[in-house]
Amino acid sequence: MADRPNILFILTDQHAQRVAGCYGDGIADTPNLDRLAETGVTFDNAYCPAPLCVPSRMAMMSGRYPDAIDCYGNHETLHTDIPTFAHSLAMAGYHTALVGRMHWLGPDQTHGFHERRVGEVGPTWAGGKAPELGPVAPARGSKGPSFSCSGIGYTAHHYFDEDVTANACAFIDAIKEKEQAPFCLMASWFLPHQPYVAEQDDFEFFRGRVPAPQLTPAAPEHPYIHAWREQTELLDIPAEVTQRARTAYYANVRKIDRMSGQILDRLRANGLLENTIVVYASDHGEQIGERGLWCKSTLYDQSAKVPLIVSWPGCLPENEHRDQIVNLIDLNATLLEAAGAPPLPNSQGRSFLSVAKDETGPWTNETFSEFYGGMMTVEVPPVQHRMIRTDRWKLNYYHGHPPQLFDMIQDPNELRDLAGLPEFSEIQAELTQRVLANWDPERIARRMAEKAPDIDLRRAWAKATDPAEPDRYPFRDPDENWLES
């Protein structure tokens, strides 16, 4: 087993791809991610399987799109009989450890990992209690009014992520001492997910430097997007609030970069870096005010694209970028191939290992992302969305609403919607056919309606009974949270 690579997978929550130096952001302060990119391959067109936490993470772990695993929203559970890449790696002789956040819901809190450290920052049952944030509680959520509670402060999420970092470093020390290899360590943080509250040094580093959003809402705005902005109370966010929240977001990205560096330094100090595949990714993006939108939950690139950096000394080239269109479910298949582990039986992902090694390798540029509406703090009627992205085109399908069609070569900012224009009717019809192939929005709508009463009952049960959560990270004293007034 000594010749098989270790795997370090660093996963963040809601990191906008563009907010990193290695992706061309001249304001972001990400020296550790930039150094990682210099030693490996950066994917410029990586997408999430769903622009929402639970479905994206469950799809990434299982290698199957949300519809294929019956997981549509943030209150749902990955069925315990669906294997993940942790199962496959363990079968191949890897010692697997999850440190930190994964957003599993239900009694199975490992889904194939040998061990779990630190635990889950949020509830492990749908409907369970959210972390106590004390005076920062008004900053929780995804609706516009909560963004007014942004700026300099400290929350339980910061403490959680610091604990994840310390435990990941301790795991590396213990593995080296026991010479227990190969291993797969997944270190997963909450940041830079909102609340938009950051530590003082990080916030001050960016004060007055973060530009205002560059994209304004379309005119006319797509009816679903406008309805979403109405329902999430995003139609009139004051410029001062936008600036403060964006500054805190950049500040929290700086913090996760610093913590990434701590883990990478510990790997290097233990002599393990040269035989380790290091992956940095996030579960979905963040819009931070672009187009008047925040958080995730749309199919625009600001929401659906993710950072993806893969380094493997001696096996992958250094300091190269890839234009190929890939997905987090493809990352699943890629890691299993690199580890010599059995592929997941029903995986929809494709290994891009050959493309990472050689940009001229064969690859079909096509991927999908799905969204079905709603977040923990935003309850809206479900709408079945599906995106297809190809070499040039991107079609956003909204069931019951007009689609959107963008030329991503001529219009990478998705400013000119070509849907409905006669000269683009053929490509629109072709992409619509591809979106609907093996994906039936009417069937999905029926399935979601069928599941809704069960989900509602489980959520009510958790609120009424406060069930035990042995894998839950313990709350800190709520008064240790603070926000500068």
Q: Do residues 380 and 224 lie in contact, with contact meaning Cβ atoms separated by under 8 Å?
A: no
Could you give the domains of the chain?
6-483 (3.40.720.10)
**For all residues of the chain together, what is the average pLDDT?**
95
pLDDT recorded at residue 142: 87
Query: In this predicted model, what pLDDT tens digit does every residue of 50-67 receive, in sequence order?
Result: 999 999 999 999 999 999
d(CA 460, CA 455): 9
User: Is the pLDDT reported for residue 100 higher than 70?
Assistant: yes
Sorting pLDDT into bands at 50, 70 and 90, what band is 392? Answer: very high
User: Is the pLDDT reported for residue 84 higher than 60?
Assistant: yes
User: Is the pLDDT reported for residue 179 higher than 90?
Assistant: no
Q: Closest Cα partner for 162 from 186, 185, 190?
A: 190
450-477: average pLDDT: 94
User: Is the pLDDT reported for residue 376 higher than 60?
Assistant: no
d(CA 244, CA 151): 6
User: Is the pLDDT reported for residue 181 higher than 90?
Assistant: no
What is the secondary structure of 221-283 as a DSSP string?
PPHHHHHHHHHTT-TT--HHHHHHHHHHHHHHHHHHHHHHHHHHHHHHHTT-GGGEEEEEEES
Paired residues of 375 in beta bridges: 378
